[in-house]
Chains A and B, each alone.
Chain A
Amino acid sequence: MSTGFSIAVPSKGRLRDEALARLEYAGYPVAPPKDARSYRTTVAGRPEIEVAFLSASEIARELGSGNIDLGITGEDLVREGLPDSHDRIDRLLGLGFGQADVVVAVPEPWFDVDTMADLGVVAADFRQRHGRRLRIATKYWRLTQQHFSQTHGIQLYRIIESLGATEGAPAAGQADVIVDITSTGSTLKANHLKILSDGVILRSEACLFAPKLESLSPARKAAISEMAGALEKNGKPR
């Protein structure tokens, strides 16, 4: 028997279904859990490969703490959920599903605002005009801050943490602009929001991630890269 390792897979929805389909297509069919309420199983006929069903954001956390060897989850959750994710996690492979962009969107009638630089100018005298800072509704505060403060040098804004229906925040008067995830842009459009021309913060998709660990045994490393290789060779099932 080859060396064992563990992989975490999203526990529900399309991400789960697509991830399981890709694993099966790559020659790693996941056995249904023995107990329907259980969140743990193995690859069929390969009891040494543990499979854990976790929520997509929990997978990001578990990758960060190094508790799992591999994880399939959205890149947005890893970049947002973990500080220094580029130093701590390897993105082994994009899996071609679960695509969505994290974007900066402003009200469509802001015809004078097309770029981050334009937004920076608006932010600069926002307090003078409105008695408060420009407000950004988002659940991605880490990515927002990196994009605004570090990439574009925009400092004068406030993040309003939003836990759902972020795209409705401007019309509700809760925020002026938003940073949110979008796959087709149709929800933004329906809410009269537009994406800035340099407002794509991250093009996210479901990816195979592994913690950067020095201490893995060579046998375990080989078993892990065998799975990654199989997933890479066997693309999207038709």
Chain B
Amino acid sequence: MNPLRSFSARADIETILAELGADRVDVPVLQPADPFLDTAGEELRRRIFLSESETGETLCLRPEFTIPVCLMHIGGGYGPRRYGYVGTVFRQRRAGSNEFLQAGIEDIGDGDRDDADARSVADALSVLQALGVKKHAAVTLGDQAVFNAVIGGLGLPKAWALRLAHAFGDHGKIKTALDALSVPAPVPELPADILEPAEARDRGALLNALRMRLRIAGLEESGGRDAEEIADRLMARFEAATVAPDESALAVLRAFLALRAPVAKAVGALSDFGAAHGLALGEVISAFAAREGAMQDAGVDMDAVTYDAAFGRPLDYYTALVYEITAPDGAILAGGGRYDRLLTMLGAEEPVPGVGFSVWLDRVAAARGQG
């Protein structure tokens, strides 16, 4: 058995989290499933253990801690707070165990993002060190905001920018999206009442025709896509079909995704990249630099941190910093990131900043052997 699963080990982990200043939080094992499926997507359905309450509510065994902690934060109406937790999460897998022990800290509501980000990375490393992972833990750091700024600066159509942003962090998906982008999309076949106003770029007439069609289909009041949305995309497709795809923009994007540097050299590399391709990255670069300074102040060993431009999470609630900490054999010991969009997705009325990390304790136990 994993030595970190014993009661005394868990007590030790709670002490470690308390020493880092986190409030201990108890998260129920049974959770409503909807918030997880809504935020992380349907792919999760295969990987969580679903159950149903007597009243028909769909429940699941918690697959992670961040979402339940955020829900508790929203429900309690609390101010800025740092939550520490340790416990089992449950994920369906074809082979091997379905239970994993996790510990982590979610830092919710702190508006000083640089300090909070730096503290998150420093705390994750502290937890690993306190658990006996002494050396050679490598931190890979990515930044969704930098990626978004590059996409924005390249002037890609909005639909494509969105698609690329959602594929960020998934090499396969990014490649598929880039390949598709390099081929112009043909305009779909359309009936005359739609084709004529679309060709003439007559938005008013197109809207009327679409509204008529929606009324006939009984979709006028359905609360789904409306005539404006369909007209916008249709007009954009007519534009796209007349403009050749910008090969040079794609080449710049590919060059960006290949950037990888020790974090101390990342600001220089990004500045050079921005200058070489005429991209205005000043704002995201200064945010990057400020965070880097805060990480130094927080005592993070900067030599262990690498910036990887292509590193990200294909989840739309991560907004800037993402990072993971790996053992020498590549096992991911901890993962974290800033999720400023998550709390509003989960029902918070005002935007609430948040950053957090989770440590995979089973892998930590295995990694301790590697010294």
**By the criterion CB–CB under 8 Å, are A155 and B314 in contact?**
yes
List B contacts of A122 (CB < 8 A): 225, 233
Complex Cα distance, B42 from A156, in Å, reads 7
Complex Cα distance, B219 from A109, in Å, reads 9
Interface readout for A147-160 with B: 1 if CB under 8 Å, 0 if not?
01100010111110
**By the criterion CB–CB under 8 Å, are B217 and A145 in contact?**
no
**By the criterion CB–CB under 8 Å, are B224 and A130 in contact?**
yes
Within 8 A of B (CB), among A103-130: 107-112, 114, 117, 120-122, 124-125, 127, 129-130
- Residue with the greatest number of chain A CB neighbours at <10 A, chosen from B172, B180, B188, B224: B224
> Of the candidates B37, B190, B214, B223, which one forms a contact with A173 in the assembled complex, judged by CB atoms under 8 Å apart?
B223
**By the criterion CB–CB under 8 Å, are B216 and A192 in contact?**
yes
List B contacts of A149 (CB < 8 A): 41-43
Interface readout for B204-237 with A: 1 if CB under 8 Å, 0 if not?
0000001001101111011111000110011001
Q: Does B93 contact A (CB under 8 A)?
A: no
Shortest CB distance B73–A (Å): 21
**By the criterion CB–CB under 8 Å, are A109 and B213 in contact?**
yes
- Partner-binding segment picked from B79-87, B127-135, B158-166, B349-357: B158-166
Q: Can you name the residue of chain A whose Cβ is closest to the Cβ of B186?
A: A114
Interface readout for B180-208 with A: 1 if CB under 8 Å, 0 if not?
10000000111000100000000000000
Beyond A124-B163, A145-B42, A149-B43, whether A111 also contacts B221 by CB under 8 A is no
- Residue with the greatest number of chain B CB neighbours at <10 A, chosen from A110, A114, A149, A176: A110
Interface readout for A51-94 with B: 1 if CB under 8 Å, 0 if not?
00000000000000000000000000000000000000000000
List B contacts of A108 (CB < 8 A): 213, 217
Q: Does A170 contact B (CB under 8 A)?
A: yes
Beyond A112-B188, A112-B230, A149-B43, whether A120 also contacts B217 by CB under 8 A is no
List B contacts of A44 (CB < 8 A): none
> Of the candidates A109, A124, A141, which one forms a contact with B166 in the assembled complex, judged by CB atoms under 8 Å apart?
A124
**By the criterion CB–CB under 8 Å, are B163 and A109 in contact?**
no
Q: Does B38 contact A (CB under 8 A)?
A: yes
> Of the candidates B45, B229, B345, which one forms a contact with A141 in the assembled complex, judged by CB atoms under 8 Å apart?
B45
> Of the candidates A145, A148, A156, A173, which one forms a contact with B221 in the assembled complex, judged by CB atoms under 8 Å apart?
A173
Count, chain B residues at interface, CB 8 A: 42
**By the criterion CB–CB under 8 Å, are B230 and A171 in contact?**
no
Within 8 A of A (CB), among B32-75: 37-38, 41-43, 45-46
List B contacts of A159 (CB < 8 A): 42, 45
List A contacts of B45 (CB < 8 A): 141, 145, 159
**By the criterion CB–CB under 8 Å, are A125 and B230 in contact?**
no
Complex Cα distance, B316 from A109, in Å, reads 28
Q: Does A133 contact B (CB under 8 A)?
A: yes
Q: Does B167 contact A (CB under 8 A)?
A: yes
List A contacts of B172 (CB < 8 A): 153
List A contacts of B296 (CB < 8 A): none
List A contacts of B222 (CB < 8 A): 170-173
Complex Cα distance, B227 from A111, in Å, reads 10
**By the criterion CB–CB under 8 Å, are B41 and A156 in contact?**
yes
Q: Does B286 contact A (CB under 8 A)?
A: no
**By the criterion CB–CB under 8 Å, are B42 and A109 in contact?**
no
The 10 A-B pairs with the shortest beta carbon distances in the complex, nearest first, are A192-B217, A112-B233, A109-B213, A171-B218, A155-B41, A114-B188, A173-B222, A124-B162, A149-B43, A112-B234
Can you identify 15 A-B contacts, CB atoms within 8 angstroms? A107-B214, A110-B230, A111-B188, A124-B166, A129-B225, A145-B43, A155-B41, A157-B42, A158-B37, A171-B218, A173-B221, A176-B224, A192-B216, A192-B218, A192-B219
